[in-house]
C-alpha cells in the first residue's frame, strides 16, 4: 500500500485489487473526515446480541450507514428508535468487506433534548422507584470526625481544595485519599471499587468529589453501577460532583449532597475557633452546674446531719423494743400453752368415751345373748320345717301316680318312655313296658282293635 493515500496511480497503469482499493479508500476517508457532526433521522435500527448498534442515518435526499459499537452504545441502547432525529459525532470510514461507506460513531444525542439527559431521567426514575433516594435511608454525618476518606482523582484542584479547607478549619482530622479516575470509560468501575475499598477502612465519613464539567464529562457519576455502589456504602457519604448547578445520580443516592467539593469539606470540618468557643461555653456551663450541684449536696448534708441521731440512743431504743418483744413473746407462749393444754384435756375426755374396752364389753354381752338364743331358734325352725315337710310329703303322696299304682293300677310306657294314654298310640305286636307299684313287666300288644291282627306262629 502507498504511504501517501493521495498519491495518484502511476502512468504505467498500476492495477489494484478490490481489497487494495477499499483499503486505500478507507484510509483516505478516515484521514479527511476523522471527526464530523452529522444530523439526520434513524431508520433500519438493528440491535444484535453483540451489543453493537447499526442503523441508517437519512434526510429527505440521502442516507448513510452508521455503526455504534458496544462500548459507546451502552448508555443509549434502549433509548433509540426508528424515526428519531439525532445528532451524531464520529469518523467517516469504509467497510472493506462490502465496500460500504459508513460512519463509525462515538457520540449520539437527540437533535432536540440531549440523549444523555434522557438516560439520566430514565435511571433517576428507576432508582427512585426502588427507594434508593428515600430519606429514611440517609445516614447522619458525624459531628466531630477523626478520619475521612476522599474518593477522587489524585491530580487536579479538587483534592487540593479539600485539603486546604481541612488545614484551615480542622487540621486535627486525618484525611486519606482513595484515588480513582473521575472521567472516561474506566471511571465507572474504578469509582465503584474505590467506594468499596473506602467503606471497609473504618472512616467516620467519605467524600465523593469531582470538579465541574459537561454532562458527558460527569457521566460516570450518572451510571447505575456507581449509584448502587454509593447506596451499598455503610459509612456516611457526601457527594460533591461538579459545580453548584450540576446534579448527578450519585447526589440523589448519597446521604448528603454538597454543591462543591470545598462545601463538602466544610460540612465535615468544623472550624477550630467555633469548637474552642463551644468548649469555653461548655466549660462555663460545667462550672456553674458543678457549683449548683455542690450547693445542693451541702444543703442536703446539713439536713441529714440535723436528722442524724447518736448511735447510743438508737441502741437504747432497740434494746427497749427487744425487751418489749420478749415480754410479748413470753405472754403469747403462756397463752398458747394454756390453750393447747385445755384442748388436750378435752380430746382425752372424748377419747375415754370412745375407749375400745367399753365397746368390747358391750359386744361380748351381746354375743352371749345371741349364743343363748341361737340353739332355741335353730330347734324351733327345724321343728317347723319338719312339720312343713311332712305335710308336703303327704300332699305329694296323695297326688303321686305311685299311690295310684298301689291301688292295683299300672302305667304303660313305649320304647321312649312315654306314657300310653290311647290305643291309637300303639300298634299290633309293639313291645311295651308296664310300670307296677312294685316292679315292671314287659308286655306285647296282641290286638289294639284298630288294625287287622296277624300273629306269627313262632311267637
CB atoms inside a 10 Å sphere around CB 335 = 10
Please list the residues that pair with 151 across neighbouring strands. 178, 208
pTM greater than the 0.85 cutoff: no
pLDDT in tens, the chain (459 residues): 445 555 555 545 678 888 888 788 888 887 888 888 998 888 889 989 888 999 999 887 888 999 999 888 887 878 888 878 888 899 898 888 787 888 999 888 777 555 667 778 888 999 999 999 999 999 999 988 999 999 999 988 899 999 999 998 888 899 999 999 998 878 999 999 999 999 999 999 999 999 887 777 788 999 999 999 999 999 999 999 988 778 899 999 999 999 999 999 989 887 666 777 778 888 889 988 998 999 999 888 888 877 776 677 777 778 888 888 888 999 999 999 999 999 998 888 887 777 777 778 888 888 989 888 888 899 899 999 999 998 888 888 777 776 677 677 788 888 888 888 888 888 888 888 888 878 888 888 888 777 665 555 555
Greatest Cα pair distance in the chain: 186
pLDDT of residue 13: 64
Helix (H) or strand (E) holding 231, with range, is helix 224-232
Secondary structure (3-state) at 205 = strand
Cα–Cα distance between 258 and 266 in angstroms, integer? 9
pLDDT of residue 436: 82
- Torsion angle, alpha carbons of 379, 382, 388, 394, to 10: -110
Give the HSE-up count for residue 414: Cα atoms under 13 Å, Cβ half-sphere. Answer: 14
- Which residues contact residue 27 at a Cβ distance below 8 angstroms, ignoring those fewer than 6 apart? 1, 5
Strands (E), 248-392: 256-257
Place of cell 465496500: 99
Please give the backbone phi and psi of residue 435, each rounded to the nearest 5 degrees, phi first.
-95, 120
- CA-based angle 86:87:90, to the nearest 5? 130
pLDDT of residue 453: 56
Say how many Å lie between the first and final Cα of the chain, rounded: 165
pLDDT of residue 456: 54
- Which residues contact residue 313 at a Cβ distance below 8 angstroms, ignoring those fewer than 6 apart? none
Cα–Cα distance between 150 and 180 in angstroms, integer? 10
Cα–Cα distance between 41 and 59 in angstroms, integer? 6
pLDDT of residue 11: 45
pLDDT of residue 12: 54
Selection from 100, 102, 99 nearest residue 21 by Cα: 99
Exposed / middle / buried, residue 356 (Cβ in 10 Å: 0-12, 13-18, 19+): exposed
pLDDT of residue 2: 46
pLDDT of residue 212: 82
pLDDT of residue 226: 94
Place of cell 374396752: 357
Cα–Cα distance between 319 and 312 in angstroms, integer? 10
- Which residues contact residue 232 at a Cβ distance below 8 angstroms, ignoring those fewer than 6 apart? 195, 196, 199
pLDDT of residue 258: 92
Amino acid at each position: 500500500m502507498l504511504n501517501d493515500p493521495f498519491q495518484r496511480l502511476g502512468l504505467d497503469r498500476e492495477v489494484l485489487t478490490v481489497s487494495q482499493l477499499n483499503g486505500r479508500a478507507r484510509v483516505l476517508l478516515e484521514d479527511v473526515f476523522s471527526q464530523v457532526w452529522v444530523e439526520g433521522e434513524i431508520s433500519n435500527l438493528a440491535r444484535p446480541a453483540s451489543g453493537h448498534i447499526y442503523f441508517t442515518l437519512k434526510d429527505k435526499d440521502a442516507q448513510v450507514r452508521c455503526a455504534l459499537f458496544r462500548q459507546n452504545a451502552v448508555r443509549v441502547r434502549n433509548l433509540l428508535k426508528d424515526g428519531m432525529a439525532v445528532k451524531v459525532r464520529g469518523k467517516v470510514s469504509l467497510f472493506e468487506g462490502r465496500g460500504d461507506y459508513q460512519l463509525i460513531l462515538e457520540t449520539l444525542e437527540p437533535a432536540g433534548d440531549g440523549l444523555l439527559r434522557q438516560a439520566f431521567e430514565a435511571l433517576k426514575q428507576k432508582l427512585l422507584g426502588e427507594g434508593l433516594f428515600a430519606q429514611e435511608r440517609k445516614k447522619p454525618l458525624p459531628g466531630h470526625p477523626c478520619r475521612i476518606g476522599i474518593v477522587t482523582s489524585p491530580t487536579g484542584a479538587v483534592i487540593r481544595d479539600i485539603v486546604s479547607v481541612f488545614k484551615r478549619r480542622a487540621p486535627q482530622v486525618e484525611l486519606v485519599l482513595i484515588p480513582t479516575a473521575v472521567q472516561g470509560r474506566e471511571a465507572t468501575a474504578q469509582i465503584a471499587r474505590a467506594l468499596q475499598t473506602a467503606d471497609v477502612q473504618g472512616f467516620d465519613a467519605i467524600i465523593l468529589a469531582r470538579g465541574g464539567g459537561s454532562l458527558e464529562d460527569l457521566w460516570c457519576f450518572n451510571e447505575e453501577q456507581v449509584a448502587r455502589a454509593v447506596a451499598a456504602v455503610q459509612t456516611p457519604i457526601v457527594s460533591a460532583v461538579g459545580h453548584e448547578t450540576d446534579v448527578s445520580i450519585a447526589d440523589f443516592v448519597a446521604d448528603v449532597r454538597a454543591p462543591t467539593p470545598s462545601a463538602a469539606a466544610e460540612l465535615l470540618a468544623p472550624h477550630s475557633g467555633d469548637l474552642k468557643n463551644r468548649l469555653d461555653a461548655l466549660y462555663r456551663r460545667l462550672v456553674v452546674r458543678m457549683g449548683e450541684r455542690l450547693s445542693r449536696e451541702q444543703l442536703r448534708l446539713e439536713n441529714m446531719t440535723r436528722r442524724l441521731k447518736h448511735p447510743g440512743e438508737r441502741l437504747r431504743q432497740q434494746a427497749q423494743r427487744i425487751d418489749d418483744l420478749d415480754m410479748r413473746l413470753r405472754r403469747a407462749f403462756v397463752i398458747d400453752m394454756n390453750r393447747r393444754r385445755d384442748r388436750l384435756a378435752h380430746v382425752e375426755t372424748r377419747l375415754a368415751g370412745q375407749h375400745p374396752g367399753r365397746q368390747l364389753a358391750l359386744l361380748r354381752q351381746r354375743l352371749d345373748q345371741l349364743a343363748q338364743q341361737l340353739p332355741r331358734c335353730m330347734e324351733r325352725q327345724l321343728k317347723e320345717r319338719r312339720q312343713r315337710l311332712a305335710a308336703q310329703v303327704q300332699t305329694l303322696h296323695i297326688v303321686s301316680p305311685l299311690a295310684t299304682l298301689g291301688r292295683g293300677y299300672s302305667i304303660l310306657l313305649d320304647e321312649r318312655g312315654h306314657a300310653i294314654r290311647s290305643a291309637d298310640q300303639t300298634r299290633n305286636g309293639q313291645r311295651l313296658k308296664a310300670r307296677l307299684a312294685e316292679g315292671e313287666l314287659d308286655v306285647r300288644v296282641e290286638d289294639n282293635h284298630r288294625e287287622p291282627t296277624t300273629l306269627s306262629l313262632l311267637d
